[in-house]
Amino acid sequence: MKSDREAMSQERKAGLLRRTSSSKKTLKEKVVLMYDEIFTKDDPAKSNPRFWDELFLMKVNLEYLEGKLESLDGDEVMVKENINSLFHHCVLALEDEHQIKVVNALQTLCALFRGVYQKNKSATGFDIINMLVGFDKAELRMKNLMESLDSLLCGDGSESLKSLCLKLLLCLVTVTDNISQNTILEYVMINSIFEAILQILSDVSSRAQHGYDAVVLLALLVNYRKYESVNPYIVKLSIVDDEATLDGMGMVVHQALTEYNRQYKDKEEENHGGFFSTLTNMVGSMFIADADEKLSVQTNEAILLALYEAVHLNRNFITVLAQSHPEIDMAATPVSTTPTTPTTPLGTTPPSLDMMHNPELPLDPNLQTSNLLITFLKYSSIVMQDTKDEHRLNSARLCLIILTCIAEDQYADAFLHDDNMNFRVNLHRMPMRHRKKAADKNIPSRPLVCAVMDLMVEFIVTHMMKEFPMDLYMRCVQIIHKLICYQKKCRIRLHYTWRELWSALINLVKFLLSNETTLLAKHNIFYLALQVVNLFNMFITYGDTFLPTPSSYDELYYEIVRMHQVFDNLYCMALRVSTNVGQWKEPASKVTHALVNVRAIVNHFNPKIESYAAVNHISQLSEDQVLEVVRSNYDTLTLKLQDGLDQFERYSEQPKETGFFKELVRSISLNVRKNVSLNTLSQDVLLKEFSSIS
């Protein structure tokens, strides 16, 4: 009897499962049939007055709808009218009190945007607008759409609904590879959602859940036709002065970069003492390139672009760079995110929700404080290690552009050099055979400008390679020059290891000389050499106003005299090229003229040193003895006053950087489109959340 009851029970369960499965299948088939009906009838509501109500109550089949739109063929007029009608009813449904309808309308719009653009790739922007909305009704319907999205983002409704609105906007912005060719964005310019984005960033709770998407969306909108017309998002971003909003944006960027740094540190620790450590000892090469490449973590150009736009456009944002936060030990913070695929390029994946939900942490007096600038410098030190990969090269270039903007800003320079704001900044350094890794605890607490200088020196030392990154070297040297100009202007005597900088610059000149033929085939190395020589001229001419002690000035002369052969060889090479007819004649001539004081120092002190050695019967002088000769013979040294050493060309995005930013934004747009996938829209989660709402 018992077994019979069990059998009957199992049969009832099986029947229930079959009916449930059949019900789900029927429901799915019904929504698909309704999609088919939309594109085969003039007006499906004629035969079923409740057609649109029923459609938006059913779970969206995004994949089928997108595929249907892409495969449409037949009467173009009827197809256009049907798509226009579907778009119109989606916009109407956004105002419905029934939130399931709103969810389904948002997802249907996403499929509409992607499907129509995919089908009409070769069409003009106006033709696509006409196909999607109907050109005669586009202005009104897009206005209604943007107002509904603005209301949903600013309202007190579901956070999941707000997330879906942002996903839709990201979908809309990135449907074309080149966002400036996405003509429908004109309506997003006219009907601005800028204030809605700011509201998300200024509110702690909203920022924790939607801050990342909001910041990426803003960065993309700012880059829409930025060189061709007045972009209202650029204008509005440049004048934001609300502290909570600026801090909120800074917090989102800070957390995203911190997450990147944590991922890199985790990978580094995984390999510490293992294969890579062994490889470092075994391989005789100077750089362990393969090992470093395997430590690569996907870069995040989207968030870096947002940081650039904020720093470049809004002077008020500079204050956010110095806002102190507790330095979060990300390795110890529990992370509950979906693991990212190592092969995913660019990495627009937001930081873990645990990090985003803990934007404010209590300050511990024993905890090292950090700020956005420190986190950014650490990020830069990682991505600048390996510039062979295109994405990392773009990241490195953008990092240096951001640092250029910072180095030109008076307020930024003030806090960079502030003796009362000292930090230990643990920059990542490329593995090199001839040096040991510095222990974190040995890093001194110094003004932040020292960390910036360290980063520049590190790059100079570690990238003298066959595929010479000339552009990055120029930017590094220019950043150093701008910082020294500020020190000279304000007479700031920075306690820095200047000899490391001088040594790096001299070794760079040696590299240029050793690879003259190869490099001249691709680059104007005389321009870089001129920048380096003029840095030495800055120290020679004005060093007494900003070097920390008189002995530092003596050490400068010692290094010039000690390495005089490098400067002699540079002069000979530049003289040879300048006396021949060719494209490098003029830049080479500038280098010979710039070397006048360096050569005067060498020609003045070398005979004195040789005479001192001969008189005292010493075959090789010690450093102290050479320094003594230098100190004793300043009076008879004659130098030429050189003009313009403390002048520099200020950074301007146009026209030099426009090509770079167009390609960068295209790359970011492609990746954002890829990441706003069908799965990330989380239909099941959203429908479950609203299932109790009538």
Give residue-wise pLDDT tens across range 172-199.
Answer: 999 999 999 999 999 999 999 999 999 9
Q: Which two tokens stand for residue 134?
A: 């109907």
Residue 396 reports pLDDT greater than 90: yes
Taking the C-alpha atoms of 216, 218, 220 and 224 in order, what is their torsion angle to the nearest 10 degrees? 180
Give CA separation, 462 vs 99, 281, 504, 529, 589, in Å.
56, 18, 10, 17, 29
- CA 399 to the chain's CA centroid: 7
* pLDDT tens figures, 590-644: 999 999 999 999 999 999 999 988 888 888 889 999 999 999 999 999 999 898 9
Provide the whole-model pTM. 0.86
Residue 18: its pLDDT value, please? 45
Residue scoring higher pLDDT (583 or 13) = 583
Q: Which residue has the tokens 């007045």?
A: 230
Range 248-263 average pLDDT: 93
Confidence of residue 295 (pLDDT cuts 50, 70, 90): low
Range 671-687 average pLDDT: 67
Residue 632: its pLDDT value, please? 92
Considering only CA atoms, give the Rg of the chain. Answer: 31
Residue scoring higher pLDDT (11 or 663) = 663
* pLDDT tens figures, 476-499: 999 999 999 999 999 999 999 999
CB 637 within 8 A of CB 601: yes
Residue 68 reports pLDDT greater than 90: no
Sign (positive/negative) of CA torsion 191, 192, 197, 203?
negative
* pLDDT tens figures, 418-452: 998 899 999 988 876 655 655 555 778 999 999 99
Confidence of residue 337 (pLDDT cuts 50, 70, 90): very low
Sign (positive/negative) of CA torsion 624, 629, 635, 639?
negative
Tell me the DSSP string of 98-112: -HHHHHHHHHHHHHH
Mean residue pLDDT across the chain: 83
User: In terms of Cα–Cα distance, which of 332, 314, 348 is closest to 236?
Assistant: 314
H-state helical runs in 547-595: 550-562, 564-578, 585-594
Residues in the chain: 694
- The letter for the amino acid at 688 is K
- The letter for the amino acid at 593 is H
Which residues have C-beta within 8 Å of that of residue 178, sequence separation ≥ 6? 662, 666, 669
Residue scoring higher pLDDT (59 or 577) = 577
Q: Which two tokens stand for residue 158?
A: 């579901």
Pairing of strands 422-423, 446-447: antiparallel
Cross-strand partners of 423: 446
Give the lowest-confidence range in 134-138, 190-194, 282-286: 282-286
